Amino acid sequence: MFISQALAATEEASGTPGVFPPFDPASFASQLLWLTLTFGVFYMIMSRVIIPRLSGILEVRSDRITRDLDETQRLKAEADAALAAYEHDLADAKKNAHSIAMESTEKAKAESSAAREKVEAELAEKMAEAEARIAEIKAKAMSEVGTIANDTTSVIVKDLIGGKLTNAEITKAVSSLVK
């Protein structure tokens, strides 16, 4: 709509039928002059002001990126060194822990062995005492077996036969059976 109004205004002013002004061959020379002047001014502003500023900004960014990369490399080297030190310390700690565990195991074995030997000695002593008492009780019982056998035989003979035997006869009969 704006273009149609411009064409109408141009037709009234020039009296020629409506040709779009930039395409009008009569105005080509002035258009080329203004194009050259504006392009020249724009080129001067770009080459003197904007391009140096952009170049400065790009250089600053490039320098910053380079410094950051250098810092990154330095930090990576420090991290690698710290990791190597950590792994070395970890290996030493594992070795120390293993040796401590072995020492503790050996110490515990020695202590348990000593305690076991002490308990075994006490048990052997108690066993010897018990065997001695058993032997004593057995000897006493064996010594009384004859008396018990004599008494039992006397009671059995009395109940079965109804008679009475002398102690000498009973002892002789029991001793002949025991042998």
pLDDT at position 47, please?
93
Q: Between these two residues, 19 and 104, which has the higher pLDDT value?
A: 104
Q: How is the chain split into domains, by residue range? A: 2-178
* Residue 165 near residue 154 (C-beta atoms within 8 A): yes
Q: Between these two residues, 5 and 11, which has the higher pLDDT value?
A: 5
pLDDT band, very low/low/confident/very high, at 6 (cuts 50, 70, 90): low
**Count of CB atoms situated within 10 Å of the CB of 174:** 20
Residues 80-126: tens digit of each pLDDT: 999 999 999 999 999 999 999 999 999 999 999 998 999 999 999 98
Q: How far apart, in whole angstroms, are the C-alpha atoms of residue 11 and residue 99?
A: 108
| Percent with pLDDT over 90 in the chain | 47
pLDDT band, very low/low/confident/very high, at 179 (cuts 50, 70, 90): low
Tokens of 147: 């008396």
pLDDT at position 36, please?
97
pLDDT at position 8, please?
63
pLDDT at position 79, please?
96
pLDDT band, very low/low/confident/very high, at 12 (cuts 50, 70, 90): low
Q: Does the global pTM surpass 0.85?
A: no
pLDDT band, very low/low/confident/very high, at 49 (cuts 50, 70, 90): very high
Tokens of 65: 């990126």
Give me the mean pLDDT over the 56-67 stretch.
Answer: 95
Residues 27-37: tens digit of each pLDDT: 888 889 999 99
Q: How far apart, in whole angstroms, are the C-alpha atoms of residue 151 and residue 102?
A: 70
pLDDT at position 138, please?
82
Residues 138-163: tens digit of each pLDDT: 888 777 776 777 777 777 777 777 77
Residue 4 CA to chain centroid, in angstroms?
82
The identity of residue 91, as a single letter, is A
